[in-house]
Amino acid sequence: MHLSKRVIAECLGTFWLVFGGCGSAVLAAAFPQLGIGFYGVALAFGLTLLTMAYAIGHISGCHLNPAVSFGLFAGKRFPGSDLLLYIVAQVVGGIGGAGVLYVIASGKAGFDVSSGFASNGYAAHSPGGYSLLACFVAEMVLTFFFLMIIMGATDKRAPAGFAPIAIGLGLTLIHLIGIPITNLSVNPARSTAPAIFVGGWAMRQLWLFWVAPIVGGVAGGALYAGFFESAIATKQASATTKSGAAAA
């Protein structure tokens, strides 16, 4: 698939992720009497990824996340030459999703974007009041395991066709753990999009939601490739060598 089509797919997919996930938090989480709460928000993020994985996974790989792209690059599943364009497309798509969400949300009387707009934060802006260190560790570890899920579910040895389900449910679980800590990011594009509209503290704290997920993603991708895949490659090479020696 041509790079331009893959980049457009990433842009549209990240639009859906931010609009669907953050939209559930802004529009539906605390809706009077019928609010879905953070359980519903966690599920919404998982469903956006699951649906897009089936829609565009065969086109772009459905990264929708700079940390995933970096992690897959570290795991030798994605070329470095495509990395920058994927990240730009993800950020642009995320901002587009947040922009449409802002237009809709601002149509209700009393809407105040400064209340958070589903932005991620630490310390005073952490939903549960968690410290900078706690939030950094949470984002890094949760992204690490997210990449482990992605790498494992898309491994050629894994059952075919089920990867989107595992990855979507993985993102749901990660949100169930992390929403009280940072409002859960594990995705720099998802964090950047609402932060641009909130400004102020959200932009000042945005660095954490780039650094921690990328560090965790790179570690997860590299570990899976180096530990779980290299051993298989070594065994296969050894088997090939023995087969060749026997034939000789």
Could you report the per-residue pLDDT of 148-158, keeping only the tens digit for each? 999 999 999 99
Residue 195, burial from CB neighbour count under 10 angstroms (0-12, 13-18, 19+): buried
Q: Give pLDDT, residue 37.
A: 87
Contacts of 233 (CB under 8 A, 6+ apart): none
Could you report the per-residue pLDDT of 72-89, keeping only the tens digit for each? 999 999 999 999 999 999
Q: Take residue 84 and report the two structure tokens written for it.
A: 């920058």
Q: Give pLDDT, residue 232.
A: 60
Q: Give pLDDT, residue 236.
A: 53
Could you report the per-residue pLDDT of 158-170, keeping only the tens digit for each? 998 999 999 999 9
Could you report the per-residue pLDDT of 105-117, keeping only the tens digit for each? 999 988 899 888 9
Q: Take residue 205 and report the two structure tokens written for it.
A: 């704290």
Q: Rounded to the nearest 10 degrees, how much is the dihedral formed by the CA atoms of 240, 241, 247, 248?
A: 160
Q: What is the mean predicted confidence (pLDDT) over 217-233?
A: 87
Answer yes or no: is pLDDT of 137 > 60. Answer: yes
Answer yes or no: is pLDDT of 59 > 60. Answer: yes
User: Which domains are present in the chain?
Assistant: 3-239 (1.20.1080.10)
Answer yes or no: is pLDDT of 29 > 90. Answer: no
C-beta separation of 69 from 83 below 8 A: yes
Q: Give pLDDT, residue 135.
A: 98
C-beta separation of 84 from 232 below 8 A: no
Q: Which of 171, 208, 216, 170 is nearest to 192 (CA)?
A: 208
Identify the residue whose tokens are 């897959």: 72
